[in-house]
Amino acid sequence: MDNIPQVHASLGEQELAAVAEVFASGWPAGQGPKGKALEAELAARYGAGGAVALSNCGAALHLAMLALGVQPGDEVIVADFTFPAPAHAVRYVGGVPVFADVRADTGTVDPRAVADLVGPRTVGVIAVDTVGLPADYAELAAIAERHGLFLVEDAACSVGATYQGRPAGALAPVACLSFHGRKGATSGEGGALLTADPALAADARIRSSFGIGSIFDQARVVGLPIPEFTEIGYNYKLSDIAAAILLVQLRRVDELLSRRQAVAARYAELLAGEELLTLPHVPDDRTHAWQTYMVTLDSTVDRSAVAAALRAQGIGCGHGTWACHLQPVYEAKQACPVSADLFQRNLAIPMHAELSMEQVDRVVDALRAAVRAGAREGAA
């Protein structure tokens, strides 16, 4: 039987045609016509005061920390149960990431944990839309306002999701998107910074291009303008090739999300009542982008044995995401017991827009058998 990958990008002829246009234009580099069009599309889509197309979401988080003025020694509260990019970004600028535990039912950051961690050195909060599910932004915004903190939405996984009727990516004054190959809209790699503040967007844009701004724009000026380096910047530009792909992908978001939702609904239908695992929980006030479909295994189940059984049948799977405070690079002082537990028991199974219902059925059959066998091994 054919393999069923855990992730698969939905890229095709429309995207290839868009790339061909860029090749013909003579400007494949960053901050050109397609990049500008993408930024305008993102700003309109999310109602943002400014949008900056970038090489990846990690770059967006880094630039956000710089633009928001995080200084060495400042503490930023970050969601613990996630890929560690937010904490990395805090460390890039000399800040101290303080890890907040998460809700057991959603895996999103627990506002009560955030409130308990606010101290005299706290300057902000980075919330994460965990594997595509938005966090509790009403509560988080209230905490940030009460203590005079900035709030950043890491929406890397949540393009297409909503919270209280608003799109993920527009749930905080600053948001960071990812267009990595497993996301709902992808250019292979890529990201964006969205903000309500045009000045903050301008700061991020200049820093994303070595501190000299757009070479494309300067090349169109009559005469010989000589760029001046006004900031210590970085090479975080998104190529016009990737921007062209994303312009197509953004038009397809609803279509691709609909397919992922159908896969999630089929999993929920077929796995309902399976006592040895818990399905993802989506509160009534939000929708999920389904970047990842994670089940939580019973503590009696040997997750490694389950993964080995699935992979032996050509079915992709993974551990889910990370409990950042346990990673040796951070040497974190606080405990996040809920995150640590989820880190040990979550299992990510195939989720992407190219899955057929027949493949979903095969995954479920294999998972059910592997979980039951894994429970016996775990109890042994």
What gap in Å lies between CA 318 and CA 161, rounded to an integer?
Answer: 22
What gap in Å lies between CA 257 and CA 237, rounded to an integer?
Answer: 27
Domain boundaries, the chain: 13-251, 254-379
Q: Which residues pair with 163 in a beta bridge?
A: 166, 286
Strands (E), the chain: 50-54, 75-79, 96-100, 122-128, 150-155, 162-163, 166-167, 174-178, 191-195, 277-278, 286-287, 293-297, 346-349
Q: What is the phi-psi region of residue 34: left when phi exceeds 0, alpha when psi lies from -120 to 50, beta otherwise?
A: alpha
User: So what's the pLDDT on residue 301?
Assistant: 97
User: So what's the pLDDT on residue 379?
Assistant: 66
Residue from 368, 13, 53, 81 nearest 193 by CA: 53
Summarised one tens digit per residue, pLDDT across range 257-266 is 999 999 999 9
Q: Does domain 13-251 have CATH number 3.40.640.10?
A: yes
**Cα separation values, 203 from 9, 72, 118, Å:** 32, 19, 27
What gap in Å lies between CA 356 and CA 266, rounded to an integer?
Answer: 10
Q: What is the phi-psi region of residue 165: left when phi exceeds 0, alpha when psi lies from -120 to 50, beta otherwise?
A: left
**CATH topology match: 13-251 vs 254-379:** no
What gap in Å lies between CA 17 and CA 31, rounded to an integer?
Answer: 20
Q: Which positions of the chain have pLDDT values less than 50?
A: none
What gap in Å lies between CA 375 and CA 299, rounded to an integer?
Answer: 9
Contact 241, 11 (CB under 8 A): no
Contact 343, 335 (CB under 8 A): no
Determine the residue type at 41: E
**What angle (nearest 5°) sits at the alpha carbon of residue 105, between those of residues 287 and 9?**
45
Contact 197, 217 (CB under 8 A): no
Look at residue 203 and give its three-state secondary structure. helix
Contact 98, 116 (CB under 8 A): no
Long-range contacts, 104-108 (Cβ 8 Å, 24+): 104/338, 104/341, 104/342, 105/281, 106/130, 106/133, 106/281, 106/282, 106/283, 107/81, 107/131, 107/133, 107/294, 107/321, 107/342, 107/346, 108/79, 108/81, 108/133, 108/134, 108/135, 108/136
Q: Does domain 254-379 have CATH number 3.40.640.10?
A: no
User: So what's the pLDDT on residue 380?
Assistant: 58
Q: Is the pTM of this model over 0.75?
A: yes
Burial 3-36 (b: 16+ CB within 10 A, else e): ebebbbbbbeeebeebbeebeeeebbebbbebbb
What gap in Å lies between CA 322 and CA 68, rounded to an integer?
Answer: 26
Look at residue 132 and give its three-state secondary structure. coil
- Is 36 in the active site? no
User: So what's the pLDDT on residue 163?
Assistant: 98
Choice among 34, 36, 183, 237 that is catalytic? 183
Query: How many Cβ atoms from other residues are within 10 Å of residue 67's Cβ?
Result: 23
DSSP state of 100: E
Contact 16, 246 (CB under 8 A): no
